[in-house]
Structure 1
Amino acid sequence: MKQVLNTLHKATRRTVLAAAIGFGMAAMAGSPAAHAQAAVTINVVDVAGSLALLQEAIESYKTTHPNVKFTFTKAPAPELPSKLKAMQNAKRSDIDLVLGGTDILAAGIEQNLWVTLLPENNAKFAPLTENYLPEVKKMQELAHNQGLAVAFMPAGPLLEYNPDKVKQVPGTPQELLAWCKANPNKLIYARPANSGPGRTFLMGLPYLLGDKDPKDPVKGWDKTWAYLKELNTCIEYYPGGTGAVMKELGEGSRDMTVTVTGWDINPRALGVVPKEFKVGAFKNMTWVNDTHYMIVPKGLAPAKQAVVLDVMAYLLQPKQQAQTYDKGYFYPGPAIKNVPVTMAPQASQDTLKEFGRAEYADWIAKFPHVQPLDAQVMVKAFRIWDEQVGAQKFK
């Protein structure tokens, strides 16, 4: 990853603190004084495809803050924690803002990599987070005050399939297993530690199978782990990310995969998966919701951190939130209330009209919703899956 020199490190502590206070106050007031501050480059790393939802909104911040520039980098979620740990041990801060899902949030909380944002910054964020959707308020609890929800999706688990090859979509896990065994190597899903659909499927199974405790993968998932090991016998391998899964599905080498709302809509809108591919819901499913978070690594100079926090607050305002509709990547997208699709860019409205699913509204209303696993517990689930299920089948 390209290292970016942070000139603010050369300033004295007094100068840095003065700059931080000055920029933060000026930015919040929308004052021209903010423009007089020294140029700042904010290095944003995306580990979940969040830039598809947020990059334009982030860059629009420059229209009122021309002294702020952004660089954007993408990285695999499993690799970022060790990189951040090495930087922090070396007293470097080459990454200023991380955008990602519950996987990177969990890994960073476990390794103590993130800045605690609340309640220290309540004055800045409370008026915005009060507008969170009810489901998002519950998702925010998973952040342990070390991240802020910025986009929301009632994810899944769902099944996406080629209707020319799958005449009757499975409606239960048992039917899925039977189909997989009858059609070996035609079902595929990605490693849960680096895949939204993969981990949603993993966390949704305990509800579908009636496991003892859906929130305890160590002691309460006996049925789930037994099921996944059996399903493993008819799966060829597990890609390292969802993009590779959709590519194989679209090319025809696989006939079915597990999915979530956004990963159903967006690849079809982009032409990666044929438009006519179908999606199915399990009978009596439970939605395992998903969220993208804004997260700040430890080690930033105070002046730079003040800018990052201001950018985060900017992204939680309705106009920027409307851009999270995107092309259905994280459907629907907005984390706050009162951001209808009519506020979205016209291109987003057109995409959702053409590639959206009428049945989603019914399913979202019909089936119950739950939070994903808590951060540290999710990491345990990933490890068990890696050791007992994925083992020799990673690619």
Structure 2
Amino acid sequence: MPSSRRQFLTLGAAVALVSACSPPEKSEVSDSGPVPGKPTKPVTLNVLDVAGNLQLTQGMIDDFIAKNPDVVEKATYTKATAPELVGKVKAQQDAGRVDIDLVLTGVDGLAGGIDQQLWAQLLPTHAARLTGMQNYLPGAAAMQKLAGDFGVTVTYYPSGPLIEYLPKNVPTPPKNTEELLAYAKANPGAVQYARPSNSGPGRTFLMGLPYLLGDTNPKDPVNGWSKTWAYLKELDAYITLYPSGTTDTMKNLANGSAKIIASTTGWDINPRVLGTVPKEAKTGTLEGFHWVTDAHYGVVPKGTSTDKQAAVLSLLNWMLTPEQQAKAYDKGYFYPGPAIKDVPLSMAPADSQAALAEFGRPEYEQLIADNPTEVPLDAKDLVAAFDRWDREIGGSKVKK
């Protein structure tokens, strides 16, 4: 803030500014008023997951509750799809009764909420309580910039876009976008990706195409994606349906109704661990490949009580400790998963280590090292890309 403006702060605003820089044990100011260092009494946290993130983090949350009963008495967990998130939260805010305290979301729900101004501002006001953010991996730090002041990155991975297939069905997989299109044309209905606004692999495929196709500005879906939109439209002619979520694409790959699907490192490994997809499935990249990274975030809806905000801040910082981040390896769902530095697989639970030893892919380490990484679109542009895809590409073919 310019010094000239500081001189005209009211006394109340000055007090608020001082409070924002106070040590964690004192109250800090949020959109809902001063946030105490801890709740006045243990709270119940209502957690909404729209990203499948609880698979990675519920163990972290449950462990926090067990060891901090004076902060959180219990948690309730519910799940929804990312496209449902904005309407659900906005309806509660309009009614003046917000009963969602923490949302675990990917960049899709994060972007939609920022666009609609639904999230409480967490930073820099509460930075002193979120010291774990200082240890982010470079990729996670880049992903944090997408959240601005309104979310905290809790898990991270390089993502994709990858193609996935069964060698018995696709003995010679496409090596570039032209070959993928030719395969789709020769095999109508065999290429599949889920609706981007509700699918990590679908979203990553959408944002990865501008790099694969050499578009003029991969960060501008409105004016810089002419090749991408033309390619998607042409590909659409040979796609019979777009599942509403990624899981259905995995099932379709397994049953043979889809032969090539969009995938990511985590969506490759985890469904094979779970037996949804045969172990022998393979993945590949297309020529010109750039990683489009991904992350999950914790966000707090505006209107959440200050006691619950205090609990959420303590919880989020707990989740960013090395011991808790090691749980993010899970069974490969968001591979690797940790958002902070110095969390080797050897710190992960034994079942995670065993699953990744059997189903992980050693080549991923080299792929991550050898290829450029790109952050996703920012909130405004991502919403614009989703909207255009729904209107002009696949919205009418989405299978609910």
Distance of 1:69 and 1:351 partners within structure 2: 30
- In the alignment, which of 343, 347, 352 is matched to residue 348 of structure 1? 352
| Corresponding position of 2:231 | 227
Supply the distance in 1 between the matched residues of 2:242 and 2:44 (Cα, whole angstroms).
Answer: 37
Q: What is the aligned partner in structure 2 of residue 394 from structure 1?
A: 398
Q: Distance in 2 between matches of 1:100 and 1:83?
A: 14
Per-residue CA distance 1:339-387 (angstroms, 9 max, x = gap) = 0000000000000010001110111111101100011100000011111
Equivalent residue in structure 1 for 2:50, among 44, 47, 50? 47
Task: Give the SS at the match of 2:169.
Answer: coil
Residue equivalent to 1:59: 62
Cα offsets for 1:158-213 (capped at 9, x unmatched): 00001001011111111100011111111111000000000100000001101011
Look up the equivalent residue of 2:186 and give its one-letter code: A
Quote the offset at 1:65 in angstroms: 1.7
Unaligned runs of 5+ in 1: 1-20, 26-33
What pairs with 1:212-291 in structure 2 (closer than 5 Å)?
Answer: 212-291=216-295
CA separation of 1:188/1:149 partners in 2, compared to 1, >3 Å: closer, same or farther?
Answer: same
| Contact 1:23 1:307 survives alignment (8 Å) | no
Which residue identity is paired with 1:107?
A: G
User: How far apart are the structure 1 equivalents of 2:25 and 2:194?
Assistant: 46
2:31 alignment counterpart = none
1:128-207 correspondence runs (5 A): 128-207=132-211
| Residues paired across the two proteins, number | 366
CA distance, structure 2, for counterparts of residue 367 and residue 168 of structure 1: 23
Deviation at 1:265, TM superposition (A): 0.3
Does the aligned pair in 2 maintain the 1:289–1:369 contact within 8 Å?
A: yes
Q: Which residue of 2 aligns with 1:4?
A: none
Cα deviation 1:92-123 (Å, max 9, x = unaligned): 12100000100000000000000111110011
Aligned to 1:121: 126
Residue of 86, 91, 109 corresponding to 1:86: 91
User: C-alpha displacement at 1:320, in angstroms?
Assistant: 0.7
- Quote the Cα distance in structure 2 between the aligned partners of 1:22 and 1:356: 43
Question: Secondary structure of the residue that 2:243 maps to in structure 1?
Answer: coil
Q: TM-score, normalised by structure 1?
A: 0.90
Contact 2:211–2:288 (8 Å) recurs in 1: no
Q: Deviations over 1:285-330 (max 9, x none)?
A: 0000000111111101111111111111111111110000000000
- Report if aligned partners of 2:40, 2:307 keep a CA contact under 8 Å in 1: no
What is the aligned-residue identity percentage? Answer: 54
State the shift of 1:24 in Å: 7.9
Residues 303 and 90 (structure 1 numbering): CA distance in 2 closer, same or farther, change over 3 Å?
same
Gap runs ≥5 in structure 2: 1-23, 29-36
User: What residue in structure 2 maps to residue 110 of structure 1?
Assistant: 115
Q: Does 1:71 align with 2:71?
A: no
Whole-angstrom CA distance in 2 between matches of 1:284 and 1:230: 20
Q: Is the 8 A contact 1:35 1:65 kept in 2?
A: no
Q: Which amino acid aligns with 1:53?
A: L
**What corresponds to 1:332 in structure 2?**
336
Secondary structure of 1:388's match?
helix
Secondary structure at the counterpart of residue 284 of structure 2: strand
**Shift in Å at residue 22 of structure 1?**
7.3
Inter-partner Cα distance in structure 2 for 1:153 and 1:36? 33
Q: Distance in 1 between matches of 2:120 and 2:38?
A: 26
Across the aligned residues of Structure 1 and Structure 2, the Cα RMSD in angstroms comes to 1.6
Partner of 1:79: helix, strand, or coil?
helix
Asked if the contact 1:35/1:66 (under 8 Å) is kept, the reply is no
In the other structure, the counterpart of 2:371 is 367
In structure 2, do the counterparts of structure 1 residues 327 and 24 end up closer, same or farther at CA, with 3 Å as the change threshold?
farther
Q: CA deviation at 1:38?
A: 2.9
Whole-Å separation in 1 of the counterparts to 2:202 and 2:95: 34
| Structure 2 residue identity aligned to 1:293 | Y
Q: Aligned letter for 1:49?
A: G
Give, as a single letter, the amino acid of the residue that structure 1 aligns with 2:355: T
Q: Distance in 1 between matches of 2:59 and 2:378?
A: 31
Q: Secondary structure at the match of 1:234?
A: coil
Is the counterpart of residue 306 in structure 1 residue 313 in structure 2?
Answer: no
CA contact (8 A) 1:136 1:335 kept: yes
SS in structure 2 of the partner of residue 130 of structure 1: helix
Distance (whole Å) between structure 2 residues aligned to residue 191 and residue 36 of structure 1: 40
Q: Distance in 1 between matches of 2:25 and 2:67?
A: 16
In structure 2, C-alpha distance between the alignment counterparts of 1:174 and 1:342, rounded to whole Å = 41
Contact 1:23 1:306 in 2 (8 A): no
- Residue aligning to 2:104: 99
Specify the code of the residue in structure 2 equivalent to 1:124: R
